[in-house]
Structure 1
Amino acid sequence: MMRVLVVGSTGYLGKFIVKNLIERNLQCVALARTPSKLQHLQQSIEIIEADVTNTSSLINCCDNIDIVISTLGITKQQDGLSYMDIDYQANLNILNEALRCAVKKFIYVSVFNGDALQNLQICQAKEKFVNTLINSGLDYCIVRPTGFFSDMTEFYNMAKKGRIYLFGKGQYKSNPIHGDDLAQVCIDAITEDQKQISVGGPDVFTQTELATLAFDVLSMPVKITYIPDFIRVALLKLCKLIFSTAKYGPIEFFLNVLVMDMSAPKSGVHKLRRYFESLVNNKTSR
C-alpha cells in the first residue's frame, strides 16, 4: 500500500489531507511536533513526532515513504522563526530526507502567483524552496491555491460592522477554495503528471461581489466605500516604517494581493456562501 507522509499535518489544510487520505484508504503517516493534536486519529494513521527545524529529529522520517505532501508554511513570523526558517529551510530539511530515502514524489503547496510575487517576504521564501525542489531531480508537483475561505472572513467581519472598505473599484477577482476541496487536489496530484497546479474554488467573485455576498448573508444593507489606490500605497510605506519585519510580512502580502486578480482554474464543491452562513451560526466550516 502507498505510504504518504503529510508535513504540516496539524495545520488547517494538513488536517483535511489526513482526513481524505484515510477516506481513500491510503496509508497516512503524519509528521507532527505535537502528536497529541492527532491523538483522535491514532488508530487510523501513523504519527511521527519531529521538529521540522531540527534536522536530527527528522532522520529516517521518510523511510519507506512513497509520497511527501508538504503544507508547511507560516503566515506570521513568530517565536524567533522567519519565513526563510520555515517556508524554505524547514521544507528543505524534509526534501533532503526525501532524497536520501528515495521518495518517489514530493508535493508542495505554495501560493497562487507566487512566482510573480517573489519581491514579498513570504513568497520569496516559498519560491526559493519551489526552485530548489524543481532542481532536486525528484519528481514533484507544486500546488498553487488562490486562498482559503477563511481568508475571506475579513469581508464578513467588516460587513457585520456595517460597512466594507475596498481599494480601487472592487473589480479584482478571486475564487477562494475550501480546505477539503484543496486536499482532494493535493491527493489527486499523487497520480497526475502535472508539475504545477493553479487552483481555486468553484465560484469566481469580484471584491464587490464578495462584499455584497457578506451583507446578503447577514441580511444587512450593502454599504461599500471604495478607497483610492494611492492610500493603499501610502499604507504600505507607513506600515513598513512602523512595524517590525516580522509583523510587516503578512501586511505586505495582503495589501499587494488585494489589488491583483487571484482567480485560477475552478475546482471543488464547497460554496463560500455556506462558509459565511456558518459564521452567522457561529459554526466555522472546517
Structure 2
Amino acid sequence: VGTLISFSIISLGAMGLISRLNIGSLELGDYLALGAIFSATDSVCTLQVLSQDETPFLYSLVFGEGVVNDATSVVLFNAIQNFDLGNFSSLKFLQFIGNFLYLFGASTFLGVASGLLSAYVIKKLYFGRHSTDREVAIMMLMAYLSYMLAELLDLSGILTVFFCGIVMSHYTWHNVTESSRVTTKHAFATLSFISETFLFLYVGMDALDIEKWKIVSETYSPMKSIALSSIILALVLVARAAFVFPLSYLSNLTKETPGEKISIRQQVSVILETSYVCYVL
C-alpha cells in the first residue's frame, strides 16, 4: 500500500513539476518509471546507520518496510516496462493493474513453492540429510534456482527469492542439523556484507565519474540540475510522509501499550533516513 501511494505521488508530481523544466521529451512511461524507482526505499544503507541492539523496534520497522517496498517497486517497474502506454485508456489501465497483480502473485507463488520444495528435499530425501555440505548446498542452490526460474518465466527474480527466503527460514531452517544452521547463518551474513560493501563502493566511485558530470554540465545548466534534484527530493519526502504517518496511525490503533506504538520521532526517522538514502542512490 505504501509503495503504491508513494508511486502515485511521485509520478503525478513529476508530471506536474519536472515537465515545466524543459529537460527533454519525457513520456508518460518515463514519469511512471521515475515514480516506481524513487518509491523504493533502500533499507540496506539505512540499516547500517541504525543499531539493532539500541533501537530494535525501529530497526525491525525499517527492515520489514524496506524489503517489501523494494520488491513491490521492482515488480511495478517491470510491469511499466512491459506495458504499452501508447493511447492510454481505462481498459489499458485495467490491463496494467492485471499485469502488476500477475507479476506479484506469480513471483510470490514461485518463491513459496521453491522454499517448500527445499524443505521437502532436505527432510524427506536421503541424500540431503545429515550432511552439512549437502544441506548448505541445497539451501543455496534452491534459492538460486527460484531466482533463475523467475527470470526464465519473465517474473520478478527479486520478489521470488525474497519469498523463497522467508519460507526457507520458517521450514527449511528447522530441518537441517545444528552445524548447518551455524554454517548457513555465517555464510549468508558474509555474502551479505561483501555485497553491501561492493554496492557502497560502486555508488561512491560512480558519483565521482568525471565523464558523467561533463555530460550533465553540457546538457543542462547548473540551476536546472539543482531545480531537478530539489524537486525529486521534495517529492520523495512528501510521498514518504503521505503513507508513513497514516499507516503508522492505523497501526497504533491496534496497539494497547505505549511501548508497542510507533512514536512520532520514529516515524520522522523512517521518513528522513530512507528518503535521503533513496535520493542519493
Greater helix fraction, Structure 1 or Structure 2: 2
Greater strand fraction, Structure 1 or Structure 2: 1
Q: Which has the larger radius of gyration?
A: 2
> TM-score normalized by structure 1?
0.24
> TM-score normalized by structure 2?
0.24
